């Protein structure tokens, strides 16, 4: 499928578990981003990447790990999930900057 996809779309996990959210884009965009959106709030940047093997922290990186070994993939790992990480997670990509970002459909994560 062309575009940007996320998996899983819904995930329930327990406190303390490790969970990985996947993001895949087919455009070969250089830039990729992970955001979280909590109820009543806008998007907060967790991590971003300007190219394969280049990642940097965003506004709220604590408790998260990213990697980008291939241009098209940008997985986000919660090393030890906490209830405060219950949120909707959006992955996005952009061909260049400044430019619009294209968002994936989101992953709704619940940590019990």
Partner 1 sequence: EDKVVQSPLSLVVHEGDTVTLNCSYEVTNFRSLLWYKQEKKAPTFLFMLTSSGIEKKSGRLSSILDKKELFSILNITATQTGDSAIYLCAVEGNAGKSTFGDGTTLTVKP
Sheet strand arrangement including 4-7: 4-7, 19-25, 76-78, 64-66
CB atoms closer than 10 angstroms to residue 46: 23
Q: Is 29 helix (H, G, I), strand (E, B) or coil?
A: coil
Q: Which of 2, 10, 28, 42 binds partner 1 (CB under 8 A)?
A: 42
| Per-residue binder mask for partner 1 (CB under 8 A), 80-109, x = binder | ----------x---x--xxxxxxxxxx---
Which of 26, 22, 23 lies closest to 3 in space, CA to CA?
26
Which lies closer to partner 1 via its Cβ, residue 41 or residue 84?
41
Query: Among residues 31 and 64, whose Cβ is nearest to partner 1?
Result: 31
> Which among 8-16, 17-25, 50-58, 62-70 is the span making contact with partner 1, rule CB under 8 A?
50-58
Within 13 Å of residue 1, how many CA atoms lie on the same side as its CB? 7
Q: Does 36 bind partner 1 (CB under 8 A)?
A: no
Q: Residue numbers of the site for partner 1 (CB under 8 A)?
A: 31, 33, 35, 40-45, 48, 50, 56, 58-59, 90, 94, 97-106
């Amino acid at each position: 499928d062309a575009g940007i996809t996320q998996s899983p779309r819904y995930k329930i996990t327990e406190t303390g578990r490790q969970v990985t959210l996947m993001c895949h884009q087919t455009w070969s965009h250089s830039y990729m981003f992970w955001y979280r959106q909590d109820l009543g709030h806008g998007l907060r940047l967790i991590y971003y990447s300007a190219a394969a093997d280049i990642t940097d922290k965003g506004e709220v990186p604590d408790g998260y790990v990213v990697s980008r070994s291939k241009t098209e993939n940008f997985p986000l790992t919660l090393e030890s999930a906490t209830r405060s990480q219950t949120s909707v997670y959006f992955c996005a990509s952009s061909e260049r900057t400044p430019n619009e970002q294209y968002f994936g459909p989101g992953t709704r994560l619940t940590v019990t």
